[in-house]
Amino acid sequence: MAITLTADAGNTDSNSFVTVDDADDYFAERLYVDDWPDDQEEKKKALIWASGLISRSYRWKGRRAKSQQKLAFPRTGLYTLDLYEVDDATYPDIIVTATCELALFLSSGDPSSDSPFDVGLTEIKVSSIGLKFDKNAVSGGSGMDANGIPERISSLFSDFYHSAVGDGDGQIPMVRA
């Protein structure tokens, strides 16, 4: 069965932020892309999966441009760090880049199949129970954010989503007692 990929910001049924051709163009100018599939259907799967993960994994600032749209972008009321309003009729360039990068990451293997030993668990003890973790992995050395997306990718668009702490702007208010 052929997979239909729709990457039109004006279409509420779009399921990807990036077309296969645009992703191929992006990867043509980037190093270390051996994991980018040759098969068109596999590329579509990776881009659709990446777009869905990005859409569902964060509390985005602003609001969807159309209430019926499937993806989190385009959005209204969204600003860059420099306070420029983001066009609400297109996908932001940084979201397109992040989608390509996440699609490449997903193409390298199923991240949900990682064993606990791949994320820092170094020892399990039975007598007197106990777990031992690699301190570098536990302290963020795994390189993954809380949504299971590599931090090097989620940091690209961190200006566009609310932090999980504080009042939504990444700051925790301090009150003198």
Domain ranges of the chain: 20-115+149-160
The stretch 60-75 carries a mean pLDDT of 96
**pLDDT score, position 166:** 46
**pLDDT score, position 168:** 46
**pLDDT score, position 144:** 83
Please, which pLDDT band fits residue 138 given cuts at 50, 70 and 90? very low
Amino acid at 34: D
103 within 8 A of 50, measured Cβ to Cβ: yes
pLDDT digits (tens, 9 = 90+) for 75-121: 999 998 889 999 999 999 999 999 999 999 999 887 765 544 455 55
**pLDDT score, position 109:** 82
Is pLDDT at 135 greater than 70 in this prediction? no
Please, which pLDDT band fits residue 143 given cuts at 50, 70 and 90? confident
Task: Read off the pTM.
Answer: 0.78
174 vs 69, higher pLDDT: 69
Whole-number average pLDDT of the chain: 84
